[in-house]
Structure 1
Amino acid sequence: MTRPDDLVRLLRSGESARPRLIWYAPGERIELSGRVLATWAAKAADLLQEELDAEVGTRVGLVGTPHWRLIVWALATWNLGGTVVLDDDAGVDVLVLDGHRLGDLLHGGTWSPGDPATRGAEHVVALTRAALARRSPVALPDGVIDEAAILLTHADEMDPLDTADDDDTALVDDDATSSYADLVAAASPARAGTGDGTGGRDAPTRRHVPGSIPLAEVLRTAVATWATGGSIVLTDPEWEADQGGDPSAPAFARVLESEGVSAPRA
């Protein structure tokens, strides 16, 4: 049985130099190998554990349209045995969201731990979507963590202090709750890759995952695909619109073909 907290180890093992996540956004193409993706997740997990006292059961809210950095924070949360929370009405211990969205939430421009505007979070992490950013492009309230400025200072590997039980909650969204035992297993077979990821006869699946679908579905598709050795091509909604808005559009289809997509969208 593969659990979500197994994924960082799996991404580092076997053919770890092979691309496991490819991201398209306007003006951007980012390719992350299994090793690089696992390293990003380890850095985020180290930040959560060492600076924010995260542990088994810590609730980490992720807010925003699907992005590769949000997936990194999901992997980091599971590596610690925490709970990824995608229900916008649920309280959280840590909230990760685009820095520019804080202005919409904090009308007074200030923030303090426990603020109802950030769902009672004791810690807020401002995510920057630009690939090479080394600081937030917007001014952040005092106390808010600038992910772009601090994440690269953290360790490339980390050891969690404890391990979640099978029945601990891994993912909460508007429609469902999944435990550590069932998050990967409950994913539809249509989402999973077909190869074993170890260089066997069947090439691992490369699946297109549109960023226009809910983040919960993106995460479920990603974990099921990675657990079976596959990879994903994640596309930003703005990029999708620029390519004709549909994978059947000629420009869109050419990109997916060039990336070796071998499975339909999630």
Structure 2
Amino acid sequence: MTPLTLGSASQNVPEDFPQLLELLAGRPQPAVVCYRPRGADGEVGAEPDSTDPDGTEPERVELSGRVLQNWAVKLIGLFTEELEEIFDPAEPTPRVLVDSAPHWKSAAVVLAASSLGAQVVTAAGATDSSGTASLAVTDRPQDWQSSPALGQAELAALSPGLLDESFEDAVGQAIPAWVLDISAEVRQHPDQLLTPLEPVRLPEGVESGGIGTGGAGAGGTALVTRTEWAADAVGALLSTWAHGGTVVLIDGMPEDPVWGQGRWEQALRNEGLA
């Protein structure tokens, strides 16, 4: 595997989300690279292959800016149709908690919900700190279904596997009908926005590249591990994408057993981070 090669970053950093989505749509280079332990979270079908006989090699997937924008647009359609009361521009700013492992699907949710004007926070294991969340998006819906931490918030499930499968297909566990299964529903939505987005401005600091831990400069690469994700990585993601960079999401830390045998260092070298 060779390091990623990025094209030249745009000289004009977007000021709002419609401009950011347009920038990503014109970008064939990677915008998100996701590493994940094989078979994590009880995923069904995580069988070893011939290149990984012991079944422990972390999985890797990358999304170009164009593909990330495509998923974000589909999610915008899903959210505005299924959760219109939350994302109604006439209502107060919603708060969206993305309680999950760092993942490309979570990154697409961050982009989509932020584009609709929501205050988005990433976390891991945050069922006791949802605050006044309007929507909780999680890869562990079973932990939220009967939790008082959910309060009046809506609940949406995000399947943990790298493939875009329904939650039940991914983990072999059904979820109640009142829980929105994002991966099961999102493909039904169009690749194009049916109505123009409101020109919601990007957070302050994005243009200078100074927002969020680990944000990359022009055309650079930002590493977001489980630690950065749990500390809220939204600013780092948006700033990196706005400057034409790549976000590398790693569901783990160097000390995790799956990253033994020099795999962590190799992953960083693959992405030009070491």
Under a length normalisation based on structure 2, what TM-score does the superposition of the two structures give? Answer: 0.71
Which residue of the partner structure matches residue 193 of structure 1?
216
Matches within 5 A, 1:150-165: 150-158=185-193, 163=198
* C-alpha distance 254-42 of structure 1, shift in aligned 2 (>3 A): same
1:243 equivalent in structure 2: 259
Distance 2:233 2:121 in 1: 14
Deviation for aligned residue 1:96: 0.9
Asked if 2 retains the 8 angstrom alpha-carbon contact of 1:3 and 1:183, the reply is no
Q: Percent identity?
A: 29
Give me the TM-score of the superposition, normalised by structure 1: 0.73
Q: In 2 relative to 1, CA 185–8 (structure 1 residues): closer, same or farther, beyond 3 Å?
A: same
**Residues 1:141 and 2:173 are matched in the alignment:** no
Which residue does 1:184 correspond to in 2? 206
Cα deviation, residue 157, structure 1: 2.2
The residue number in structure 1 matching 2:31 is 20
- Partners of 1:55 and 1:162 within 8 A in 2: no
Match of residue 47, structure 1, among 53, 63, 78: 78
Aligned partner of 1:83 among 104, 114, 119: 119
Separation of aligned partners in 1, 2:21 and 2:250: 22
8 Å CA contact 2:209, 2:217 repeated in 1:
no
Higher relative contact order (CA 8 A, sep 6+): 2
| Offset of residue 127 of structure 1 | 0.7
Structure 1's 226 and 257: CA in aligned 2 closer, same or farther, altered over 3 A? same
Checking the alignment, whether the CA contact within 8 Å between 2:102 and 2:251 is kept in structure 1 is yes
Please give the alpha-carbon distance, in whole angstroms, between the structure 1 residues aligned to 2:159 and 2:77: 18
Q: Which runs of 5+ in 1 are unaligned?
A: 108-114, 167-179, 196-203
Q: Among residues 229, 232, 235, which one is paired with 1:220 in the alignment?
A: 235
Check whether the contact 2:137–2:158 (CA below 8 A) recurs between aligned residues.
yes
Deviates more, 1:210-219 or 1:134-143: 210-219
| Counterpart in the other structure of 1:93 | 134
What residue in structure 1 maps to residue 103 of structure 2? 67
Flag the 1:229–1:161 CA change in 2: closer, same or farther, 3 A.
Answer: closer
Q: Which residue of 1 aligns with 2:141?
A: 102
Q: CA RMSD in A?
A: 2.8
Where in structure 2 are there 5+ consecutive unaligned residues? 1-12, 39-58
Match of 2:265 among 253, 258, 264: 253
TM-superposed CA distance for 1:33, in Å, is 0.2
Distance 2:142 2:215 in 1: 38
Q: Report the Cα offset of residue 144 of structure 1.
A: 0.9
Which residue in 2 is equivalent to 1:112? none
- Counterpart position of 1:119: 151
Give the drift of 1:255: 2.0
Q: C-alpha distance in 2, partners of 1:104/1:192?
A: 31
Please give the alpha-carbon distance, in whole angstroms, between the structure 2 residues aligned to 1:213 and 1:46. 29
Runs of 4+ more than 6 Å apart: none
- Shift, 1:46, TM fit: 0.7
